[in-house]
Amino acid sequence: MRESWANPAGGPAGGGVGGAVGAGSDLHLDLGGPGGLRACLMRALRDAVRTGRLAPGTRLPSSRSLAADLGVARNTVADAYAELVAEGWLTARQGSGTRVAPRAEPAAPTAPAGPPGARPTAPRRPPGPAAPARTPPRILHDLRSGRPDVSAFPRAAWLTSARRALTAAPSAALGYDDPRGRPELRRALAGYLSRARGVRADPERIVVCAGFARGLALLGEVLGTTVAVESYGLWIHRDLLTRAGARTVPLPVDDRGADVSALYTAGARAALLTPAHQYPTGVPLHPDRRTAAVDWARATGGVVLEDDYDGEFRYDRRPVGVLQDLDPERVVYLGTTSKSLAPGLRLGWMVVPEALLGPVLAVRRETAETCGVLDQLTLADFLASGAYDRHVRAMRLRYRRRRDQLVAALAEHAPAVRVTGIAAGLHAVLELPPGAEEPVLEAARRAGVALEGLARFRHPAAPEPGPGCSGPGRDALVVGYGTPPEHGFSPAVEALCAVLRGALG
Ligand X SMILES: Cc1ncc(COP(=O)(O)O)c(C=O)c1O
Q: Which residues bind ligand X (CB under 6 A)?
A: 115-116, 146, 211-213, 234, 274, 279, 307, 309, 336, 338, 343, 348
Contacts from 435-443 at CB under 8 Å and sequence distance 24+?
435/475, 436/475, 436/503, 436/504, 437/474, 437/475, 437/476, 437/477, 439/503, 440/477, 440/499, 440/500, 440/503, 440/504, 441/477, 443/499, 443/502, 443/503
Considering beta carbons, is residue 69 or 308 the nearer one to ligand X?
308
Q: Where are the beta strands (DSSP E) in 24-85?
A: 27-30
Q: Are 339 and 309 in contact (CB under 8 A)?
A: yes
CB of 328 to ligand X, least distance (A): 20
Which residue type is seen at 445?
R
C-alpha 483/C-alpha 343 separation (Å) is: 12
Considering beta carbons, is residue 84 or 371 the nearer one to ligand X?
371
Considering beta carbons, is residue 234 or 332 the nearer one to ligand X?
234
Contacts of 222 (CB under 8 A, 6+ apart): 356, 359, 360, 363
Considering beta carbons, is residue 85 or 150 the nearer one to ligand X?
150
Phi, psi values for residue 334, rounded to 5°: -125, 135
Considering beta carbons, is residue 150 or 498 the nearer one to ligand X?
150
CB of 223 to ligand X, least distance (A): 18
CB of 480 to ligand X, least distance (A): 9
CB of 433 to ligand X, least distance (A): 27
CB of 318 to ligand X, least distance (A): 21
DSSP-assigned letters across all residues of 209-242: ESHHHHHHHHHHHHH-SEEEEESBS-HHHHHHHH
Contacts of 31 (CB under 8 A, 6+ apart): 1, 2, 3, 4, 37, 40, 41, 44, 70
Q: Are 63 and 78 in contact (CB under 8 A)?
A: yes
- Provide the phi-psi class of 99: left if phi over 0, else alpha when psi is between -120 and 50, else beta: beta
Which residue type is seen at 253?
V
CB of 118 to ligand X, least distance (A): 10
CB of 280 to ligand X, least distance (A): 8
CB of 343 to ligand X, least distance (A): 5
Considering beta carbons, is residue 248 or 336 the nearer one to ligand X?
336
Contacts of 16 (CB under 8 A, 6+ apart): 57, 59, 96, 99
Q: Crossing angle for the helix pair 63-70 and 74-87, nearest 10 degrees?
A: 120
CB of 114 to ligand X, least distance (A): 10
